[in-house]
Amino acid sequence: MRTSLNEIKETEDYLMDRLSPQDALLFEARLILNPLLSENVEWQKKTYTIITSYARNEIKKEASAVFDKLFNNPEKPGFRNKILSIFHNT
């Protein structure tokens, strides 16, 4: 179990470009020699892509909610007009 955790950590460091050039070269050599390690690295890359995509979508949802709250608030029409005037006068 400990070995797999170390491998995950080392893979993460490799993917995030946190290994020294010598360690990165050694890791790349291990990727060539170990097909299972290579497969695990690909799965870890895919996992990071999914996590990043999910996080971006969540941030977009939050930003959209803030935008709707600020720009569609009937009690504060002046705010919307003020912001729009900034961008229309450029």
pLDDT band per the 50, 70, 90 thresholds, residue 81: confident
Q: Do 11 and 40 touch, CB atoms closer than 8 A? A: yes
Give long-range contacts, CB 8 A cutoff, 24+ apart: 57-62: none
pTM to 2 decimal places: 0.67
pLDDT digits (tens, 9 = 90+) for 67-79: 888 778 777 778 7
At 3 the pLDDT is: 67
Give the domain ranges of the chain.
Answer: 2-88
> What CA–CA distance (Å, rounded) separates 78 from 64?
20
* 48-62 as b/e: b if 16+ CB within 10 A: eeeeeeeeeeeeeee
- In tens, the pLDDT along 6-23 reads 999 999 999 999 999 999
Residue 2 has pLDDT above 70, yes or no: no
User: Alpha-carbon distance 83 to 70, whole Å?
Assistant: 10
